[in-house]
Amino acid sequence: MKILTIPDDTLRQVSRPVKPGDAWRQLADAMLDTLYASGGLGLSAVQVGVPWQLFVTRDGKVYVNPTIKQTAGLYVAVEEGCLSCPGVRKMVPRWEAVVLAWQEEPGRRSRSQIMSGGHLSNGPARVVQHEMAHLAGKLIVDA
């Protein structure tokens, strides 16, 4: 599976919700394989050319139709990279903690979890916010 890189216009698309019946499981499995091979921390569906509200993280979690419900702590700038912006490192401000809600399957009740570690370049809160930016069509070069 190919990871799109700038200046591909697909990366600027706002992702749509995943619907029941979409082949999201197969996509998520392929994305996880691609993520592990790349050595990245997270990968959104739009980065592989599918503008759906879905992303995966290197701990094997799949987030379907995620939303940030609450933010907390300081808004801290930390240097980040991005698989879609090879060679680019940029100071990007993110919240130290977020409450993330997502579905484990489209159309099912959402789960929520507090994510922290936004002050770390590889902290869960930072990774989640980075991937959520992709779903909104934003990249680290926009920060």
Is there a contact between 88 and 4 (Cβ–Cβ < 8 Å)?
Answer: no
Q: Is the dihedral of CA 8, 13, 15, 19 positive or negative?
A: negative
φ, ψ of residue 45 to 5 degrees: the values are -60, -35
Q: How far is CA 140 from CA 19, 58, 59, 71, 137, in A?
A: 28, 19, 22, 19, 11
Q: How far is CA 86 from CA 6, 74, 92, 119, 140, in A?
A: 8, 28, 16, 22, 11
Catalytic residue among 79, 80, 104, 131: 131
Annotation says 80 is catalytic: no
Q: Which residues are catalytic?
A: 131
